[in-house]
Amino acid sequence: MNQTIRDYIKTRVRWLFAFGALGWLTFPLSQFLPRYTGDKVGAGLPVLGMLMFLGAIIALNWAIKCPRCRANLSRTIAMTVGLSWGSGPKVNFCPYCAVSLDEPRVKETAPGQQAPFNPIR
Ligand SMILES: [Zn+2]
């Protein structure tokens, strides 16, 4: 697995963003579906959409952590990294532990080699 920390953050942010956008799409769907299927199907859709959107917002605030220091990146760099499409300035490191975002997410250690000790944890 050669996923970089940047790819990991991008994947998480984009999936949660898509999930929240899908929640929003249920609002117009709830207006159109009853015309074709009768009144029963569309009644619960806005509630479901609201729950999906709220779930995505809450997850965007809590579920994106640095794989090295476990600091919450949601309110600092997650949106900038996750929703950048290659233009503009680029975030290159975690603001808490300064690990490069282009390093592999899972640090591979050679057999017999110990993982470095982090005294802060
Ligand atoms: Zn970090």
pLDDT per residue as tens, the chain (121 positions): 689 999 999 999 999 999 999 999 988 888 877 777 766 666 788 889 999 999 999 999 999 999 999 999 998 999 899 888 877 788 999 999 999 999 998 877 666 666 666 667 6
Residue 21: predicted pLDDT:
94
Domain assignment present for residue 97? The answer is no
- Tell me the HSE value of 115 on the side-chain side, using a 13 A CA sphere: 6
Q: How far does the centroid of ligand 1 lie from the alpha carbon of residue 112, in Å?
A: 25
Looking at the structure of the chain, the number of domains it has is: 1
Domain assignment present for residue 89? The answer is no
Q: How far does the centroid of ligand 1 lie from the alpha carbon of residue 22, in Å?
A: 30
Domain assignment present for residue 47? The answer is yes
Which residues fall inside 5 Å of ion ligand 1, going by CB? 66, 68-69, 94, 96-97
Domain that holds residue 25: 5-82
Domain assignment present for residue 50? The answer is yes
Domain assignment present for residue 73? The answer is yes
Cα 87 to Cα 25, 81, 90, 95: the distances in Å are 28, 11, 8, 21
Domain assignment present for residue 65? The answer is yes
Q: How far does the centroid of ligand 1 lie from the alpha carbon of residue 89, in Å?
A: 20
Domain assignment present for residue 64? The answer is yes
